[in-house]
Structure 1
Amino acid sequence: MKTILIIEDDIVFSHSISNWLVKEGMKTDCVTTLANARKAIEQKAFDLILADLRLPDGNSTSLLEWMNKKYYSTPFLIMTNYGQVENAVAAMRLGAINYLCKPVQPDKLLALITEILDKDNNKQDFYRGESPKAHEIYRLIEMIACTDISVLLRGASGTGKEHAAAEIHARSHRKNKPYFAIDCGAIPDELAASEFFGHRKGAFTGAESDKVGLFRAVDGGTLFLDEIGNLSNKTQMLLLRALQEKRCRPVGSTKEYSFDIRLVSATNEKLEKAIEEGRFREDLFHRLNEFTLRIPTLAECREDILPLADFFLKLTCAKARKSFRGFDRLAQAALLEYPWPGNIRELKNVIGRAVLICQQEWISVSDLNLDISFQKEEKPLLAEEEKERTLLLQTLEKVDGNRSKAARLLNISRTTLYEKLKKYHITD
């Protein structure tokens, strides 16, 4: 869901626009002054800013100047009276993406907002999340994106670390420069120097032409090194030296080249343990870890599970040219109960498989094919409880969720059935 910051001192008009955008499926925050707008932008990531040109404490062009200095890259849309068009044009020179003359027509505003947001290709293939932990991640991303410090993303496989790296780049002052993502586990040790720094033709067998290398190819932009813990000691030393000197020399060349890159790394490994075991250099760790950003597991963001499942369902259906009404309530209960050890990646794969095999209007528990008896280790269910919960879900599915019929089939009262549904967190 897209979030828009509305900066408007006419409270009635602001709330009118806000209510209309909410009806169109967006979220809004409203402020009346530039000072409050700056606080809001510092505390939260927005997809778009809709601002009146003149406000009680100044002109919104001053907010644009402040955002430019802070490297905030949020799309900025100006609202102005007809007599202030020249000032709106000046705002566009500072980075405003467009302007609208008052009185603002809702249809025209929605069309323009949709056009602006559709251009944000970085976010089209990813659901950002509405849970408290997801909001905190994006707040921190917005805070660190405007700097050049090295960031280490830590989290389990499948949590979206590469997406976080791309977000950092997209919100930085380097956003119009190259962004490269590379899996460190896929770099052969003997070719690491060539991959990072390039080589001259004939430098080694197979070097049939000159190669620039990642550090020079990404110059001015952001380099994302995924699974940094997979680098060999030799490659770690090469990387450390280059980062310290901000210079690199292609294999087979006597000439050194300077480079300017933002480095973002990621790992699902405890690098501190790798340091103790001598598998990872401590000096390189500190070079990469100027700021740590922990990416939460999907189980820690339970509020995002169903919206994320719906997101993947729409995405997969569009590609497969299929259509479903959604997940039935038992499927929703299973999605919420399952612990998702594979995180977002596993959820995406489960939804993809369900879309392929489902033959009904609604995705069911059987389409998801989840082991719903698989619980978190710290809260194991007894074997009998596992069987009882599975029986409840299967019975409810058999009677299309009719609880009266389910109670009769199970030979228990409706009150007992409701107590058991509550016990096993099987809800509507």
Structure 2
Amino acid sequence: MKKIVVVDDEADICFLLKRFLSKNDFIVETAQNGKDGLALIESISPDLVMTDFRLGDITGTELLTTIKSKRPNVPVLIITGYSDIKVAVNVMKLGAYDYITKPLFPDEILVTVKKAIADAEASENEDQQYVAPASSDGTADPVKPARKSSLRTKAGYVMGNGEVSDNLFKQVDLVAPTNFSVIIYGESGSGKEAIAQEIHNRSRRKDMPFVAMDCGAISKELAGSELFGHEKGSFTGALQTKIGHFELANGGTLFLDEVSNLSYEIQVALLRVVQERKMRRIGGSKEIDLDVRILVASNERLLDSARSGKFREDLYYRFNEFTIEVPALRNRREDMMLFAGSFLETTNVELGKNVKGFSEEVKNDFLNYSWPGNLRELKNVIKRATLLSDGELIEEKALPFEIVNYKRLKDLDDEPAPATSSGISQLSDNADGDDTKPSLKTVANEAEYDMIMQVLRDVNFNKSKAARLLNIDRKTLYNKMKQFDI
């Protein structure tokens, strides 16, 4: 029989939970403060802990942190009478399996308890029976077990194995079953739309439409028609009735990417629709009832945009029921090669190639580079490198110049002036005439010269092939060679 420890400062709660769970074949021990709860956990090694968020001596957060530091594999359920989503987010980030709000419902408790214990057992069995999967270079990776479930979401997004990825998808799991509007923040290319798609796929609306609209790619004049639709003849050029994104998403989810780019007039109309859950097509008189969950994304803070007058503050507060931060790729380096391997796999299929992995130099370049374009940039780099690669591994010569030389350029302030082996010294433009400090242009030209020479030697000075590998045209290569006196 599985053992459960219940920690709650209300004796009635402890009694009721012990009675109910004991009838369902669990061994239950209770404590009414955090200190006694920790002692109980140490003595009986439970399979699950249920603790109130507010205890007399310590908070549930402090208790959770202590439990996870000592017994990281034991699932912890937080009981709270404060149905506050911020509390839930915090405890989930700290490692809680789930949270339950008072009043307690027996069926909900039993389902959550059984699922938590089953998931913990499955995870433990997976660690014991783990067979290392092939890494992106075709070799086994014995260090880190993969997730129990597939690393790919239904939308094709690679979830990742790292702690940052775990926290991201815990928040997705937390908010997905609700009808909350969600603001998704993240840099360009970080996968905001994929996260929105995943929230939809894990919600009760998953069998209904998911409709995405890039607000930054639509003109001010067309935005209203795209969102709300229009009737035939409602304006010049309206040759037929158009169904808007809200109607298309009815019953499902509407995702508005870069929502801050919408004009003020459209924001006013959008606020009315969000408040009333009704809309009319442009030029129409019939009101259409809406049941649409709205997810929005932005790479800038909407509250800052509201304070600067770019975005309506009342609309911001309508959307701000929950917030998810999609981390930049540079903050997910532990998953870097997992993402790279996934993109290589799909690119091989797309191009009909069989590149198996990456050289050690390429792996180091990927880990050192800052990836300002995030996952989108990584995907495009791998597509280009796969196209240029003839062997089993992607080599450094197939990567763009800025990735191969990124670390050198980044650290140029700490480097002495490089010795020149060609006519490059004449390119120095130190305004102060201080030859002891290299200018940015000097060092960049040095790195560029070295890269061009390396590629030319690799291809035996075949200029057409060198230009392809450098991702420039022949004319540009000739100009560079003339500039550097090659």
Query: Residue by residue, what CA displacement relative to the aligned partner does 1:177-227 show, whole Å, maximum 9, x if unpaired?
Result: 110011011222222222222222211122222223221221110000000
Tell me how far apart the structure 2 counterparts of residues 277 and 248 of structure 1 sit (CA, whole Å): 28
TM superposition shift of 1:60: 12
Aligned amino acid, residue 129 of structure 1 = G
1:179 to 203, 206, 210: 210
Cα RMSD (Å): 4.1
Tell me how far apart the structure 2 counterparts of residues 162 and 32 of structure 1 sit (CA, whole Å): 37
| Residues 152 and 265, structure 1, Cα contact 8 Å, conserved in 2 | yes
Match of 2:291 in 1: 260
Alignment of 1:15-414 (within 5 A): 39=77, 63=111, 122-123=154-155, 125-371=156-402, 372-375=404-407, 381-384=413-416
Aligned amino acid, residue 374 of structure 1 = Y
- 2:255 match: secondary structure: strand
> CA 1:227–1:59 in structure 2 vs 1: closer, same or farther (change >3 Å)?
closer
TM superposition shift of 1:165: 0.2
| Residues 339 and 375, structure 1, Cα contact 8 Å, conserved in 2 | no
Tell me how far apart the structure 2 counterparts of residues 307 and 298 of structure 1 sit (CA, whole Å): 12
- 2:311 match: secondary structure: coil
TM superposition shift of 1:166: 0.4
| Residues 338 and 374, structure 1, Cα contact 8 Å, conserved in 2 | yes
Aligned amino acid, residue 154 of structure 2 = N
| Residues 151 and 290, structure 1, Cα contact 8 Å, conserved in 2 | yes
TM superposition shift of 1:376: 11
How many residues are matched? Answer: 312
| Residues 274 and 280, structure 1, Cα contact 8 Å, conserved in 2 | yes
Aligned amino acid, residue 334 of structure 1 = D
Aligned amino acid, residue 339 of structure 2 = L
Aligned amino acid, residue 273 of structure 2 = A
Which structure has the larger Rg? Answer: 2
Tell me how far apart the structure 1 counterparts of residues 154 and 185 of structure 2 sit (CA, whole Å): 21
Aligned amino acid, residue 63 of structure 1 = V
Identity %: 38
| Residues 189 and 232, structure 1, Cα contact 8 Å, conserved in 2 | yes
Deviates more, 1:162-171 or 1:214-223: 214-223
TM superposition shift of 1:369: 2.2
> CA 1:66–1:233 in structure 2 vs 1: closer, same or farther (change >3 Å)?
farther
Tell me how far apart the structure 2 counterparts of residues 182 and 376 of structure 1 sit (CA, whole Å): 40
Tell me how far apart the structure 1 counterparts of residues 309 and 107 of structure 2 sit (CA, whole Å): 57
- 2:256 match: secondary structure: strand
Aligned amino acid, residue 258 of structure 1 = D
> CA 1:34–1:215 in structure 2 vs 1: closer, same or farther (change >3 Å)?
farther
Tell me how far apart the structure 1 counterparts of residues 232 and 209 of structure 2 sit (CA, whole Å): 24
Tell me how far apart the structure 1 counterparts of residues 267 and 412 of structure 2 sit (CA, whole Å): 41
TM superposition shift of 1:325: 2.8
Tell me how far apart the structure 2 counterparts of residues 121 and 205 of structure 1 sit (CA, whole Å): 43
Query: Residue by residue, what CA displacement relative to the aligned partner does 1:250-291 show, whole Å, maximum 9, x if unpaired?
Result: 111111111011110001123333223211111111111211
Aligned amino acid, residue 397 of structure 2 = S
| Residues 228 and 246, structure 2, Cα contact 8 Å, conserved in 1 | yes
Aligned amino acid, residue 197 of structure 1 = F
Tell me how far apart the structure 2 counterparts of residues 224 and 145 of structure 1 sit (CA, whole Å): 14
- 1:152 match: secondary structure: strand
| Residues 368 and 406, structure 2, Cα contact 8 Å, conserved in 1 | no
- Structure 1 unaligned blocks of 5 or more: 1-8, 10-30, 45-57, 77-116, 401-428
| Residues 153 and 159, structure 2, Cα contact 8 Å, conserved in 1 | no
> CA 1:312–1:235 in structure 2 vs 1: closer, same or farther (change >3 Å)?
same
Match of 2:5 in 1: none
| Residues 330 and 396, structure 1, Cα contact 8 Å, conserved in 2 | no
Aligned amino acid, residue 232 of structure 1 = S
Provide TM-score, normalisation by structure 1.
Answer: 0.63
Query: Residue by residue, what CA displacement relative to the aligned partner does 1:321-343 show, whole Å, maximum 9, x if unpaired?
Result: 11123111111111111111111
4+ residue segments displaced more than 4 Å: 31-40, 58-62, 64-67, 375-381, 393-397
> CA 1:248–1:375 in structure 2 vs 1: closer, same or farther (change >3 Å)?
farther
TM superposition shift of 1:39: 4.9
| Residues 348 and 386, structure 2, Cα contact 8 Å, conserved in 1 | yes
Tell me how far apart the structure 1 counterparts of residues 415 and 357 of structure 2 sit (CA, whole Å): 32
